[in-house]
Every structure is written in C-alpha cells, then in structure tokens.
Amino acid sequence: MQSQSDTHGRTAEPGESSAEGRAVARSVLEATLTYARERDYTGWDLYDGESSRILRALPVESKWLNLAVQQSVRRSPVNIRPLLLVEQRRNPMGTALFSVANLTAYDVTGDERYRAEARRLADWVVENQVDGYGGFCIGHSHPLQGLSKRTTPDVPGVVGTSWSTKALLAAGERFDGPYHEVAASAADFVFETLGYGEAPTGARINYKATDTGDHYTLNANALGARLLVDLYDAFGDATHRARAERILEYVAAQQTDRGGWMYRDPPEASHLSMDNFHNGFIVQSFLRYREVCDPEAFATTVDDAVAFYRELFTADGAPHFDESNEFPRDIHSSAQGVIVFSMLGEFDRAEAILDWARENLSDGGGRFFHEQQRFYTDRTTLMRWCQAWMAYAVGEYLRRTGAAEPSPRTTA
C-alpha cells in the first residue's frame, strides 16, 4: 500500500494509520452504534431459525425440521426471517461487544451517552449470565440444532464467555460495581466446567459445557487462553498465565504446515477447514499473550500464522472465506481482520479491510450486511454478527492508533 497524506499534510508511511482513516473509523463507530442503540441492540442472528414462532407453534419436535428451518434461514439469499416470524433478540456476546465499543466511543468523543450505554449493557451481561456452572459464563439467545445434539441458551460456551469477560473487565476499570468480581469467576468456568486437562502437548478445554471430549475446537481453546490472559492482566494470578500458556502450547501443536489451523482436532470432526475469522481468533489470542506475558513467546508459531492469515485477504482488503475459497466474503472476517492487523500495528492494512467492508457490505449509514457471495450480496443485518463485531473492531483500531484515549475512572 502506498503512502498517503493525512489532513495535516504529513505523509503516512506504510503500516501507519492516517488521519483520514481515523476520521472514517470514528464516523463508522458512531453510526454503527447509533443503528444498534436505536434498536436497543436487539436483532436477528446467524443461526436463529429455531426462534421462529411458526416452528415453535408446530405440534411436533423434530431434529430434521429444526435443521431444515435453521439452515434455510441461514443460507437463503434473501432474509426470510420476517416470513417465518423469527424473533429478534439481544445476544449476550453481542451485548458485551457493544459495551466495549461504547466505552471506546466515549473515549473518542467525550459524549456521556456512550459511557451510560456501556454501563447499562455491562449490567445486562451480568444479569443474563447462565447460572449453575460455578463461575461466570454465558450462552446464546436462541437454540442451535446440530446433527448430533441441540444446544439451548442455558448451555454456556467459552467463546461468548471470553468476550463477555473482557467487557466486564473494561467496565470494572471505569465503574464501581460487581464487574471485576464477576469476571474473575470466569476462571472457575474454564478450569472446572470446561474440563481443563493435560493433552499430549500442553493442555486443552472443551468449547461448551456439554462437550464430551471426543473433539476439541481450536479457536475456542485459543479464546479460553486469551480469557485467562485478560484475567492475569487484571489481577496478576500466575495460575492464569501458566494455564493460558499450556492451552496455547496445545493450540500451537495443532498448527498445519501452511501456518493456519483447522477448525477442530481431529480435523475430520468438522466440515470447516482453515477459515478466515476462526484463524483470526487464534492469531489474536497469541498476540494478546505476547503483549501481556512474553513478547518473544511462540515466535515461530506467530510468524507462520500471520503469514498465512495475510493470505486470507486480497490487496484491496477483501476477505477470503478460507484457504481454498474466496466466497462467501463474510463481514465477521472483515471485522476480525481489522482487529488483528490493528494489533500488529499494520494500520494501513486494517484501513484497507475497513474500506472494502464499507464499500461492499454496508449501506454507508452505519448498517453492515452479512456476506458477499460470488453472484449476489446477502444484505441481511445481523445485530451480533454484523453490527457488534464491526463496532468492536473499529473501536479496537481507534484505541490502538491512539485516537481513543481512556478517560478517567468514574463511579457514577
């Protein structure tokens, strides 16, 4: 990417952020949050077909019917959710991401409305945690039917819990309340409910509370490690750091020769291969460990992973779906690309990814769309998948470029 002049006439070198890029990101953050706030952060989600009132009214309970509705809703080129009366709900993980994004918007603008929204959403996350698992954890807002089992909203998983813990830690830095105490208990969920235990290399955990250990989800393990790193960063418990390192050792041992990761161990346990945003989660988790614990750790793993991850984006910022397929180009992959390249300090690349998403998967007014297929674009707006992730990603870019300076702690 060539150098570009910022608004003060200085030339931004490759890798640096530009004043224009920061101004665009601020505008995107505010518009995206406005869209979500006006709808009270409530909307459709990716696999929400079982929230159909029509399906729930039928006098039968069928796995195959659930799958048919769920996949039809997921894969239809147009949004058929209104026809099936799919309920719009507030998603716990999305709410957590919105809370962090609102804090960033407050730091950027000084607008008290964002600070109030961040706290209100953090309170909602605390109130809507899943009880009965010995530590803080969250589930989804709708059932999810799989081929082997059906997961209900009261079954928590580490992915959503990791992001919600991050949101509560951020809230605890700004406000009085139970946020840090609740977040700290997430370690019990990881160690006890998710079955933290030794692997042939390192240690590993389950993705969800109901998993049986016949396979392990690699990005979920990485995010579990990142959750522990965040807790170590906040509270200094050496056990959290040590166990995060052990989990990352396990994940590193599963890295392929190409530098990426399959979705599961063993790989044949999933139809997914080395897809974009799940690999982004893993790269992000290693980078977080390095910035908090040891900047030299996992050097070869990270170098190979970043090289592979760069290949999942075109020069103009379009995301590939995985190592073999360009399409669909998913908004979640764009958001994760902005996050990872911001963490790497490659702000020009993050800006290119954001620009592509704005031009191809957005209405230009704060609303993002799900995905671009080869011959059409699915213009469905999913509150968590599209809005929350883009708001969080753009906020991460602004924070890491120094455009969002943290405001002093408040107790109101």
Q: Where are the alpha helices (DSSP H) in 272-330?
A: 276-292, 299-310
Which has the minimum average pLDDT: 137-151, 179-193, 316-330?
137-151
Q: What is the pLDDT of residue 4?
A: 44
Amino acid identity of residue 337, one-letter, is G
pLDDT band at 13 (very low <50, low <70, confident <90, very high): low
What integer is the mean pLDDT of 169-183? 97
Kindly report, residue by residue over 127-154, the tens digit of the pLDDT: 999 999 989 999 999 999 988 889 999 9
Q: What is the pLDDT of residue 246?
A: 98
What integer is the mean pLDDT of 92-107? 98
Q: What are phi and psi of 194, to 5 degrees?
A: -90, 5
Contact status, residue 314 vs residue 303, Cβ threshold 8 Å = no
Q: What are phi and psi of 295, to 5 degrees?
A: -65, -15
Kindly report, residue by residue over 300-317, the tens digit of the pLDDT: 999 999 999 999 999 999
Q: Which single residue is written with the structure tokens 């998993």?
A: 211
What is d(CA 395, CA 36) in angstroms, rounded to the nearest whole number? 15
Q: What is the pLDDT of residue 5?
A: 41
Contact status, residue 218 vs residue 264, Cβ threshold 8 Å = yes
Checking 67-73 for CB contacts under 8 A at 24+ apart, the result is 67/145, 67/147, 70/144, 70/145, 73/47, 73/48, 73/49
Q: What is the pLDDT of residue 405?
A: 73
pLDDT band at 8 (very low <50, low <70, confident <90, very high): very low
pLDDT band at 408 (very low <50, low <70, confident <90, very high): low
What integer is the mean pLDDT of 86-112? 97
Q: What DSSP designation does 328 have? A: S
Kindly report, residue by residue over 345-399, the tens digit of the pLDDT: 999 999 999 999 999 999 999 999 999 999 999 999 999 999 999 999 999 999 9
Q: What is the pLDDT of residue 2?
A: 38
Q: Which single residue is written with the structure tokens 């990761």?
A: 261
Reduce the DSSP state of residue 166 to 3 states and report it: helix
Q: What is the pLDDT of residue 186?
A: 98
pLDDT band at 3 (very low <50, low <70, confident <90, very high): very low
Q: What is the pLDDT of residue 17?
A: 77
What integer is the mean pLDDT of 196-200? 96
* Residue 15 predicted with pLDDT over 80: no
Contact status, residue 309 vs residue 274, Cβ threshold 8 Å = no
Reduce the DSSP state of residue 273 to 3 states and report it: coil
Contact status, residue 280 vs residue 340, Cβ threshold 8 Å = yes
Kindly report, residue by residue over 229-287, the tens digit of the pLDDT: 999 999 999 999 999 999 999 999 999 999 999 999 999 999 999 999 999 999 999 99
pLDDT band at 9 (very low <50, low <70, confident <90, very high): very low
CA distances from 392 to 173, 276, 341 (A): 18, 18, 14
Kindly report, residue by residue over 333-343, the tens digit of the pLDDT: 999 999 999 99
What integer is the mean pLDDT of 90-114? 97
What integer is the mean pLDDT of 32-38? 98
Q: What is the mean pLDDT of the chain?
A: 94
What integer is the mean pLDDT of 81-89? 96
What is d(CA 342, CA 46) in angstroms, rounded to the nearest whole number? 26
Reduce the DSSP state of residue 121 to 3 states and report it: helix
Which has the minimum average pLDDT: 63-77, 168-182, 392-406?
392-406
Contact status, residue 246 vs residue 297, Cβ threshold 8 Å = no
Q: What is the pLDDT of residue 14?
A: 59
Q: What is the pLDDT of residue 180?
A: 98
Extract the tokens encoding 317: 């910022």
What integer is the mean pLDDT of 173-185? 97
Spans of all domains in the chain: 19-46+312-398, 49-86
Q: What residues form DSSP beta bridges with 362?
A: 368
